[in-house]
Amino acid sequence: MSVRNSTPGYVLAFFPTLALGVLFLVPFGIMASISVAHRVTGGFYEPGFTLASYWRFVSPFFGGILLNSVVLSALAAMLAVMIAFPFTYLLTRQPRRIQVPVLVGLLAVLSLSEVIVGFSWSTLLSRSAGISNLFVAIGLMEKAQSWTPGFYAVIAGLTYVSLPYATMVLYPALSRLDPELPEAARTLGASPLRAFFEVIVPVSRRAIVACLIMAFVYSLGSYLLPSLLGRPQHWTITVHITDQAIYQSNLPFASAMAVFLLVTALLLVGFTQRFLGEKA
């Protein structure tokens, strides 16, 4: 015991501090300083201090982007959790020999790059080769339609890539859930469905909220899917950051948006941790 504790605390704290500094604080500092730099139209930027880039947030244009990003990510996150939760719950009730291959399969889906996922969805939702042809064939639709690019195509893509992550976040909590809890509800007169919604869901609320945030932040940060499956009006803030930084050469505004995105995400995580911490 005493031998282990004899290493001074500051030595142990050195590596995390260094890693945090090099990997996070320094880049963030650079980004923050660029966000207040003067923009040189048609050129680069020169150092200085102006809040001009931040002032651009107060505009219908930026408000629209923000609203769209939040709505898209929130919808995708909710859909992902709504699909992943019952799926993961049922999975944890299966014998191990079924659980393991399914989890391995999910990990395999994780290894697919967003590029592949994006192009697959755009093919799947296209008019020429898409799923609507199938609906026409079985008589559900009059003629084949193109659903991409579009709002729902972006949602579908984001939900799809969030699903394996959502399952991974929910899995530990749900497999630890006492199987006697829903059974107790059943002996008290609750149907299986009722026991699911009145016991399993509320008991897992921490995992559900954690999963929602994870899926939300993940969708918010996705660059490829909105640009691949959406029209410019469906672009999320991440796509706009890239657009401003690379195509419009407006690094200060791109940086300001990135700072804003980061601060929002941090606040969101902090707020929910606080909220959950008090409830437990």
Partner 1 sequence: MSALSIQGVAKHFGNVTALDNVSLDIPEGTFTCLLGPSGCGKTTLLRIVAGLEQPSAGAVVLDGTDISGLPAHKRGLGMVFQSLALFPHLSVAENIGYGLRLQGVSATARREKAEELLGLVQLEGVADRRITQLSGGQRQRVAIARALALEPKLFLLDEPLSALDAKLREEMQVELRELQARLGVTTILVTHDQREAMTMGDLIVVMDHGEIRQVGAPLDVYRAPADRFVADFLGGANLMQGEVAAGNTVQLGEACIKIEDAIGAGNGEAVTLCVRAEDIQLTSGAPRDGNCLTAKVSFVRDLGHVVEVTANCDQGEVKVLVPAKEREGLAVDGEVTLHLPADVCRVLEK
Residues that bind partner 1 (CB under 8 A): 178, 180-181, 183-192, 194, 199, 202-203, 205
Of 23 and 98, which has the nearer Cβ to partner 1?
98
In single-letter form, the type of residue at position 130 comes to G
Q: How far is the CB of 195 from partner 1 (least distance, A)?
A: 8
Q: How far is the CB of 111 from partner 1 (least distance, A)?
A: 34
Of 38 and 205, which has the nearer Cβ to partner 1?
205
Of 168 and 203, which has the nearer Cβ to partner 1?
203
Those residues with Cβ within 8 angstroms of residue 52's Cβ, 6 or more apart along the chain or in another chain: 38, 39, 252
Of 127 and 194, which has the nearer Cβ to partner 1?
194
Q: How far is the CB of 226 from partner 1 (least distance, A)?
A: 37
Report yes or no: 54 and 35 within 8 Å, Cβ to Cβ.
yes
Alpha-carbon gap, residue 121 to 42, rounded angstroms: 37
Q: How far is the CB of 276 from partner 1 (least distance, A)?
A: 13
The answer, yes or no, to whether the previous bond of 149 is cis (omega within 30 of 0) is yes
Q: How far is the CB of 269 from partner 1 (least distance, A)?
A: 23
Of 194 and 274, which has the nearer Cβ to partner 1?
194
Tell me the β-bridge partners of 45: 39
Residue 246 CA, chain-centre distance (Å), reads 23
Q: How far is the CB of 138 from partner 1 (least distance, A)?
A: 36
Of the chain, the end-to-end C-alpha distance in Å amounts to: 32
Cα dihedral 75/79/82/87 (nearest 10): -160
Q: How far is the CB of 183 from partner 1 (least distance, A)?
A: 5
Q: Where are the alpha helices (DSSP H) in the chain?
A: 2-5, 9-20, 26-35, 52-55, 60-92, 96-110, 114-124, 132-137, 151-176, 180-187, 192-195, 201-203, 205-220, 224-229, 237-242, 251-279
Alpha-carbon gap, residue 231 to 154, rounded angstroms: 9
